């Protein structure tokens, strides 16, 4: 048994928002735009940890459990396409301070504990499509959903028989 797992901290999306997003996506993008992410896998990553030993994961989870941050509301009013990684995403034009603080804390704790963080600035997003390497016509607007962030989770990414599944291992409330 390997003692390391591919982990990341993220904000979960409520089931209703996951369902609404995939229903809208089906009308907003043609099938050739990219590979749709399964509804249950839609999330907003706060800090990517990579392959992490169980020991390191326990230490990072303990640190996450000490975080006291206020809950916040996020308006999902932005859309974009990054052709290099082939990602079409849903995001926000104005990231709330609470979101930026939470991500900064988790990323700093990860970096101090042997999980190097990307030098790219944090750009909060929910990946909707992968494999989107050709130009994509983006719809002019999103439905403008709001996401009430009341907790964050540690997720494990597992790929079995070609299918990736993100499983929440632990969850912590925001104040």
Binding site for ligand 2AM (CB under 6 A): 8, 45, 48, 87, 118, 127, 157
Q: How far is CA 130 from CA 38, 43, 75, 93, 133, in A?
A: 11, 14, 22, 21, 8
Nearer to ligand 2AM, 68 or 119 (CB): 119
What's the closest the beta carbon of residue 118 comes to ligand 2AM, in angstroms? Answer: 5
Task: Name the DSSP class of 116.
Answer: P
Nearer residue to ligand 2AM within complex by CB, 10 or 28: 10
Q: Is 86 left (phi over 0), alpha (psi -120 to 50) or beta?
A: left
Q: Which of residues 38 and 70 has its CB atom nearest to ligand 2AM in the complex?
A: 38
Q: How far is the CB of 160 from ligand 2AM (least distance, A)?
A: 15
Query: Which residue matches tokens 């999103």?
Result: 142
Least distance from ligand 2AM to the Cβ atom of residue 82, Å: 8
- Asked if 151 is an active-site residue, the reply is no
Catalytic positions: 43, 125
């Amino acid at each position: 048994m390997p003692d390391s797992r591919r982990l990341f901290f993220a904000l979960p999306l409520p089931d209703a928002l996951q369902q609404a997003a995939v229903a809208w996506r089906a009308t907003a993008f043609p099938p050739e735009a990219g590979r749709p992410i399964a509804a249950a896998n839609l999330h907003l990553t706060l800090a990517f940890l990579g392959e992490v030993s169980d020991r390191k994961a326990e230490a990072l989870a303990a640190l996450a459990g000490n975080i006291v941050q206020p809950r916040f509301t996020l308006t999902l009013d932005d859309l974009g396409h990054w052709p290099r990684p082939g990602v079409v995403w849903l995001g926000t034009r104005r990231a709330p301070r609470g979101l930026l603080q939470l991500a900064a804390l988790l990323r700093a704790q990860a970096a101090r504990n042997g999980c190097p963080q990307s030098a790219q600035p944090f750009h909060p997003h929910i990946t909707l499509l992968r494999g989107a390497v050709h130009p994509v016509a983006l719809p002019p607007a999103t439905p403008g959903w709001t996401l009430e962030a009341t907790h964050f989770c540690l997720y494990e990414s597992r790929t079995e028989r070609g299918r990736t599944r993100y499983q929440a291992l632990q969850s912590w409330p925001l104040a």
